[in-house]
């Protein structure tokens, strides 16, 4: 039986509620609420705006501009925090599962993460993913898109306690992360659709992205 991404996340959340101490959960939830209140979601690059033609290395260290990928067709850009984030891994696995459906529609799926290329490659290998992932070291592109925040000091020891070493993954000491986001980008770099949620446990369902792509194609927008 196929489980939706939402169902998988719900099962993981239930497990997390049982295993993580209540004071820790409370701190994590407070950090999410504060990010939601910051207005980041509303201010970030969105539908109707143009995506910059950024050039980043892929997991093999090959640097190409976004326009290189767009020359082949529209791009579904999935911005994620890193391979240490279980929600990002569940989302990437769910997107990987619809790769054939994306290819049928002529759409190129690309991931983008602040992790170093070698960390990105480890994530792909661990999850058995056949996706191009761009390494946005220092979160420079994500910052230009308005997606970046600094992990609150109170959460840093908690993450370390979970065995998550963000400075090692990202190759810097800044503790900056992107809010996860999904963008459908037309060949002229226009953002045709965006999903951004300051609550990193909320992700867009791949089926909803496919429906949106079909709607855009029907409207002649792709």
Tens-digit pLDDT profile for residues 162-198: 999 999 999 999 999 999 999 999 999 999 999 999 9
What are the pLDDT digits (tens) for 84-116?
999 999 999 999 999 999 999 999 999 999 999
Per-domain boundaries in the chain = 5-218
CA distance 46 to 182: 10
What percent of the chain lies above the pLDDT cut of 70?
Answer: 99
Is the pLDDT at 142 greater than 60, yes or no? Answer: yes
pLDDT of 1 reads: 55
Assigned token pair, 106: 């002529």
Q: What is the mean pLDDT of residues 31-58?
A: 97
Please name the residues in contact with 119: beta carbons below 8 A apart, sequence gap of 6 or more. Answer: 82, 83, 113, 168, 169, 170, 171
Q: How many helices (H) and strands (E) does the chain have?
A: 11, 9
CB atoms inside a 10 Å sphere around CB 138: 15
Cβ atoms 188, 38 nearer than 8 A: no
Q: What is the pTM of this model?
A: 0.96
Q: Dump pLDDT digits (tens) for 58-79.
A: 999 999 999 999 999 999 999 9
- The tens digit of pLDDT for each residue in 194-219 reads 999 999 999 999 999 999 999 999 99
Instruction: Provide the CA 144 distance to its chain's centre, in angstroms.
Output: 15
* CATH class of residue range 5-218: alpha beta
Across the chain, what does the average pLDDT equal? 96
Distance CA(189)–CA(187), nearest Å, equals 5
> How far is 92 from 83, CA to CA, in rounded Å?
10
C-alpha distances in angstroms, 149 versus 61, 142, 167, 186? Answer: 25, 10, 15, 27
């Amino acid at each position: 039986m196929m489980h939706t991404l939402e169902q998988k996340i719900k099962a993981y959340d239930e497990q997390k509620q049982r295993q993580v101490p209540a004071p820790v959960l409370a701190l994590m939830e407070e950090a999410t609420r504060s990010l939601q209140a910051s207005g980041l979601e509303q201010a970030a690059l969105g539908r109707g705006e143009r995506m910059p033609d950024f050039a980043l290395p892929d997991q093999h260290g090959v640097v190409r501009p976004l326009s290189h990928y767009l020359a082949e067709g529209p791009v579904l850009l999935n911005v994620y925090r890193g391979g240490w984030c279980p929600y990002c891994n569940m989302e990437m696995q769910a997107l990987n599962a619809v790769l054939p459906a994306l290819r049928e529609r002529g759409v190129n799926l690309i991931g983008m993460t602040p992790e170093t290329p070698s960390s990105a490659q480890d994530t792909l290998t661990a999850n058995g993913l056949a996706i191009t992932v761009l390494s946005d070291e220092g979160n420079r592109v994500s910052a230009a898109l308005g997606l970046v925040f600094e992990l609150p000091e109170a959460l840093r020891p908690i993450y370390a306690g979970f065995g998550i070493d963000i400075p090692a993954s990202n190759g810097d000491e800044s503790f900056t992360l992107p809010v996860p986001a999904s963008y459908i980008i037309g060949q002229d770099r226009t953002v045709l659709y965006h999903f951004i949620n300051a609550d990193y446990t909320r992700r867009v369902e791949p089926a909803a992205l496919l429906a949106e792509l079909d709607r855009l194609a029907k409207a002649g927008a792709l």
